[in-house]
């Protein structure tokens, strides 16, 4: 991705977005409030402006993808034979996946093929293409694919209003990093009259505020310390490497769940409810529960459009294992064109094996941990810590730049784990390089989210549960911290996907 281009992109944590959102909000509710068509046109124009602020050239690609699935949906619905339906579905899927593969994976395949030829004695002279990855292409491609799949399955009738469908694909809060919406959920809201709701407005602002806290204060602070550790991991102790991996865990969570909170809060300002994308995943007691709480819109997408069509859990144990591995390997590849990302997905598939092979109830957690209690049991605490550790080890593979680096990083940690000095190494590194600030911020995050783990997000229902003076004190404290940390804010990690 062209890093210089990102300087002009309207990030959620930028001054540009702080001006853009109120302007669109004002026009939407004060100029177009009594006209749903005008509201939708306004939001569509705002969304295209939002996307075009990064690179105007890729507006044509977004428009093409939108038109492709809009007309394919109509043709699938109107087709008189099953064969014709399948032809139009295949046509849409082929072009969507083809465009995604070209922009995201072309150089990966060329480089991998060249490396294979070199390993068997040839000396290829391939030139990698100068391809700029269109931001958000993985997300809006999956929006369109879910639409044509649902039309094909008769779960939704295709809309013949191009404005409505275009807004579904490109609605600016979810355009570049999700959540991955379903037409069955969002299109009816786009086609329904929306009335301003002061309660939803206040709730949206709270979720935006909490999302900014997680991104600007948690994620970016952790990144300040995790990046140097990963960039120079050969010169770090095993304790420092483990600490860096844990910090990256909180960086990724704060970054991506923070983005999702801002997206959901922003959409709520305009009367829309987007799909929940995170549900306190670090309080999960198993890998299966983790994936029911992390990036929910992507997990459910692969479940509904890949896992279940392959037979899901209704097949024999070996086929079920195959289905799980296919889904996780595809999920890893979706996250990036590298063997590291594929291995990351494969590791999570391996971590899922106990719940598949033994089908024990201890792996099937559908309720909230320690529900009705202030603290978890020792068993629950051990389950959460072990799940967190497994995810941390897998994320090292995700973060490092090559498989060799991944193995060396993990080997250094593995050797140190069996050495009692690892705790002193962590303490020394923390004292010399970090101080108390990151630890204090992480503790605040964990405590606040634990106390509110039964809610949709940490500040949900704050207006009901907290007296007004204390509530406003919380708001001002969060705003003050945002101003204090704002200068160190970075781009969102998931923009690269």
- Measured CA to CA, the distance from residue 302 to residue 304 in angstroms comes to 6
Contact 139, 334 (CB under 8 A): no
State the DSSP code for 488.
Answer: G
Please indicate whether residue 335 is annotated as part of the active site: yes
Contact 276, 300 (CB under 8 A): no
Contact 457, 233 (CB under 8 A): no
- Measured CA to CA, the distance from residue 497 to residue 136 in angstroms comes to 7
Contact 47, 125 (CB under 8 A): no
What is the number of alpha carbons within 13 Å of residue 216 lying toward its C-beta? 23
- Measured CA to CA, the distance from residue 378 to residue 132 in angstroms comes to 49
Distance of CA 262 to the CA centre of its chain: 12
- Measured CA to CA, the distance from residue 76 to residue 145 in angstroms comes to 13
Contact 271, 462 (CB under 8 A): no
Which of 404, 139, 153 lies closest to 274 in space, CA to CA?
139
Residue carrying the six token digits 């491609």? 141
Q: In 10 A of CB 160, how many CB atoms?
A: 11
Q: Which residues, other chains included, contact 143 with Cβ-Cβ below 8 Å and sequence gap of 6+?
A: 168, 169, 180, 181, 183
- Measured CA to CA, the distance from residue 88 to residue 69 in angstroms comes to 10
Question: What is the torsion angle, in degrees rounded to the nearest 10, for the CA atoms of residue 96, residue 99, residue 101 and residue 103?
Answer: -140
Contact 365, 387 (CB under 8 A): no
Structure tokens at 410: 């993990």
Peptide bond connecting 179 to the previous residue in cis, omega within 30 degrees of 0: yes
State the DSSP code for 309.
Answer: T
What is the number of alpha carbons within 13 Å of residue 232 lying toward its C-beta? 7
Q: Which position among 143, 295, 335, 348 bears the catalytic label? A: 335
**Residues with catalytic function:** 335
């Amino acid at each position: 991705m062209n890093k210089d281009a990102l300087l002009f992109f309207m990030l959620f944590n930028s001054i540009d977005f702080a001006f853009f959102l109120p302007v669109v909000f004002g026009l939407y509710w004060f100029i177009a409030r009594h006209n749903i068509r005008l509201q939708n046109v306004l939001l569509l124009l705002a969304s295209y402006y939002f996307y075009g602020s990064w690179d105007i050239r890729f507006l044509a690609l977004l428009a093409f993808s939108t038109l492709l699935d809009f007309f394919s949906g109509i043709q699938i619905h109107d087709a008189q034979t099953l064969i014709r339906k399948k032809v139009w579905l295949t046509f849409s899927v082929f072009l969507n996946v083809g465009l995604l593969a070209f922009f995201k994976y072309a150089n990966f395949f060329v480089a991998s093929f060249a490396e294979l030829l070199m390993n068997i004695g040839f000396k290829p002279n391939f030139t990698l293409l100068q391809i700029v990855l269109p931001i958000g292409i993985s997300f809006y491609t999956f929006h369109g694919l879910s639409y044509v799949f649902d039309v094909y399955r008769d779960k939704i009738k295709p809309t013949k209003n191009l404005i409505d469908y275009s807004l579904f694909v490109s609605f600016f809060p979810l355009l570049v990093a999700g959540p991955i919406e379903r037409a069955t959920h969002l299109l009816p809201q786009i086609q329904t009259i929306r009335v301003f709701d002061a309660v939803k407005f206040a709730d949206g602002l709270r979720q935006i505020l909490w999302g900014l806290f997680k991104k600007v204060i948690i994620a970016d602070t952790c990144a300040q310390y995790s990046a140097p550790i990963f960039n120079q991991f050969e010169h770090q102790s095993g304790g420092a490497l483990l600490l860096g991996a844990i910090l990256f865990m909180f960086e990724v969570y704060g970054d991506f769940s923070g983005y999702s909170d801002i997206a959901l809060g922003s959409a709520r300002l305009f009367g829309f409810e987007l799909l929940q994308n995170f549900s306190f995943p670090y309080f999960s007691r198993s890998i299966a529960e983790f994936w029911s709480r992390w990036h929910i819109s992507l997990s459910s997408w692969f479940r509904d459009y890949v896992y279940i069509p392959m037979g899901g859990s209704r097949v024999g144990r070996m086929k079920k294992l195959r289905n799980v591995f296919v889904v996780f390997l595809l999920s890893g590849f979706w996250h990036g064109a590298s063997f590291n990302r594929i291995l990351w997905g494969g590791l999570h598939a391996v971590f899922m094996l106990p719940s598949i092979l033994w089908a024990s109830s201890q792996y099937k957690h559908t309720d909230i941990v320690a529900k009705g209690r202030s603290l978890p049991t020792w068993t629950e605490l051990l389950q959460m810590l072990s799940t967190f550790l497994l995810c941390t080890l897998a994320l090292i593979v995700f973060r490092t730049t090559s498989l060799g680096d991944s193995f060396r990083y993990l080997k250094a940690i593995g050797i140190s784990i069996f050495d009692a000095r690892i705790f002193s190494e962590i303490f020394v590194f923390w004292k010399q390089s970090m101080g108390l600030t990151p630890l204090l911020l992480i503790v605040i995050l964990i405590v606040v989210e634990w106390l509110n783990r039964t809610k949709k997000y940490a500040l949900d229902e704050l207006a009901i549960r907290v007296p007004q003076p204390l509530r406003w004190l919380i708001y001002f404290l969060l705003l003050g911290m945002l101003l204090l940390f704002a200068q160190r804010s970075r781009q969102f990690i998931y923009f690269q996907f």
